[in-house]
Each structure stands twice: as structure tokens, then as C-alpha cells.
Structure 1
């Protein structure tokens, strides 16, 4: 089953959703701003994406700039910050089996479908 971690307020996330709908594939939408993403969920996503935790952070968000920008954070502290402030999570994230991609640009999701 394909999953999309989706924020309806994000234009890139909406574009990715349209791509999935056009592909006529079954998928589930996870509205991560409404549903709690626990640290373990984030660690799994980071592992599937094969990135460092900092690479999943939206570093231009005011929450990041005001609270974390000049801090020397460990990976676990970065993950905890994303769990506490889901707005910091880069989006959209698409998972297909054991493959995952951040849909920026949204057409990038076609690589794993």
C-alpha cells in the first residue's frame, strides 16, 4: 500500500496527491499535522528515506529559526523537535513498500511508483 504524508495547506503536497490520483493506485493519506507522529514513526521514515534527520527538517520555518537554528542538536533531539512541531517536517513524503521519497518536486514520487 502506498502512503502519503500529506499537509493539505501545502501546494507541493496537493500536487503530489493529484499525481497519485492520476496514477489510479490505491493509497492512504496520512494527515501528519492532525495525527500524532511519534519519534519511532519519524525514525522509520528517516530510515526509509535514507537521509539524516536534519534533511527532513524545513529549516526556513519560523519555529526552526526561532528555537533551533543555532543549536548543536543531536539526531535524537532533531527527531524530537519534529515530533513536537510537525510543521517542521518536509513534505510530502510518499512511501511505497520499502521505498520512500520526499516529493519535492512532486514528480519525484513517480520514481517509486
Structure 2
């Protein structure tokens, strides 16, 4: 089973999904803006990605710049912020087994298939 946290309006996300559809048949598509991941799910995703929560943040988003940029935020608080404002989550994220990758560039997704 391969899961993609997908934003259909994002070109990179669409390109990554196209690669997945070409390479594998068993895909779960999570439109994370419509169904935001919980704090627990994000914690697991971050563990699978082997990154810090701040590395998952889209720092050019207005929500980030206006509300969080420059503030001291713990990792736990940051994960809650990402769950509350899923637009801040870097995309697309692809998970297979206990590994994950951010599909930027989209071809990186092949590394975990």
C-alpha cells in the first residue's frame, strides 16, 4: 500500500501522483486539505520522513508569515499548528511501509517504491 498526501491544485503533487499511478496499483490518496492529518498521524509521518517538524513547514505561506514566523514554537506545538493549518504542510508526501518521502522533485518518489 502506498499513500500520497495530495493537493490536486499543486503541479508537483499531480506529477508525483502520475508517477505513482504508473509504477504501482495500490494507492491511497489523502486530500489533506479536506481531511487534515491528526497530530498523531503527523507525528508518525515526521518520524517516517526522518526530519524535524520545521522541515515540513511551507514557510512562504501567508498563515506562517503572519502567525508563526520568528516565534519560538516547540516541536509538539508545531505539529499541532500543521494539523490545524494543513496548507502549511509541504507536499506531496508519499508513504510506503514505514518509509516516507516528500515528492520534490516528483521523481524522488521512485526511491521508496
- TM norm. shorter chain > 0.5: yes
| Partner SS, residue 95 of structure 1 | strand
Residue in 2 that maps onto 1:5: 5
Deviates more, 1:76-85 or 1:20-29: 20-29
Q: TM-score, normalised by structure 1?
A: 0.97
Q: TM-score, normalised by structure 2?
A: 0.97
Write the distance in 1 (CA, Å) between the matches of 2:35 and 2:76. Answer: 20
| Partner SS, residue 80 of structure 1 | helix
For residues 1-113 of structure 1, the aligned pairs below 5 Å read 1-113=1-113
Write the distance in 2 (CA, Å) between the matches of 1:101 and 1:28. Answer: 15
Count of aligned positions: 113
Write the distance in 1 (CA, Å) between the matches of 2:24 and 2:50. Answer: 27
Q: Which consecutive segments of 4 or more residues in structure 1 shift more than 6 A?
A: none
| Partner SS, residue 35 of structure 1 | coil
**What is the RMSD computed on CA atoms of the aligned residues?**
0.8
Q: Identify unmatched segments of 5+ residues in structure 1.
A: none
